[in-house]
């Protein structure tokens, strides 16, 4: 089976390159590395993950909605729930609204939006999430995945394979 080694970048169509660049650099700590006129590339120093901010000629500038087919949200990883609490304070300092941290099945989620309303999330694994990541790294079979989910979260959440 072919494989990829990670996720390198995402590109967003935005309404204002300057406003978006300020958000991703000042709020999320990315560094602007390229300005191509119609778009900017911002890279995160610690991870190398890049975000392309694109303003194509003729773009309509309609607000983002996760209800349209395509991107629902982009998730970033945090180390712990305590780190998410630090992020909440950081978002407050920058005037970014967010949904308070939610405790979910495999971890904790902090949701917020960029200036164009693009849905973003910071998540941190709980103990079960850490166990799931370790189990996935071992290369489980679909049956082993199903058994893990059924035992830890309930049989109704076992993925169905077409």
List of domains in the chain: 1-58 (3.10.180.10)
Report DSSP state, residue 138.
T
What was the pLDDT predicted at 1? 61
- Residues contacting 17, CB < 8 A, separation 6+: 39, 40, 53, 55
Parallel/antiparallel/unpaired status of strands 119-125 and 31-35: unpaired
How far apart are alpha carbons 17 and 23 in whole angstroms? 10
Task: Render each residue's pLDDT in the chain as its tens digit; 162 residues.
Answer: 687 777 889 999 999 999 999 999 999 999 999 999 999 999 999 999 999 999 988 887 787 888 887 889 999 999 999 999 999 999 999 999 999 999 999 999 999 999 999 999 999 999 999 999 888 888 888 888 888 989 998 899 888 876
Enter the pTM of the model: 0.88
What was the pLDDT predicted at 57? 86
* CB-CB contact of 45 with 51 (8 Å): no
Starting from the edge strand earliest in sequence, which strands make up the sheet with 119-125, in order? 74-77, 119-125, 107-113, 98-103
How far apart are alpha carbons 153 and 109 in whole angstroms? 17
What are the tokens at 153?
């979260």
Report DSSP state, residue 161.
P
């Amino acid at each position: 089976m072919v494989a990829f080694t990670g996720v390198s970048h995402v590109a967003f169509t935005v309404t204002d390159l300057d406003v978006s660049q300020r958000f991703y650099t000042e709020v999320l700590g990315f560094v602007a590395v390229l300005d191509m006129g119609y778009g900017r590339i911002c890279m995160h120093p610690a991870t190398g993950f890049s975000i392309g901010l694109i303003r194509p000629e003729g773009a309509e500038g309609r607000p983002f909605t996760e209800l349209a087919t395509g991107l629902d949200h982009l998730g970033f990883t945090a180390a712990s729930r305590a780190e998410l609490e630090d992020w909440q304070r950081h978002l407050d300092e920058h005037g970014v609204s967010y949904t308070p941290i939610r405790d979910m099945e495999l971890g904790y989620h902090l949701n917020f939006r960029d200036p164009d309303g693009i849905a973003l999330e910071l998540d941190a694994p709980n103990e079960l999430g850490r166990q799931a990541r370790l189990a996935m790294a071992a290369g489980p079979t679909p049956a082993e995945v199903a058994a893990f989910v059924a035992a830890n979260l309930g049989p109704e959440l076992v993925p169905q394979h077409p």
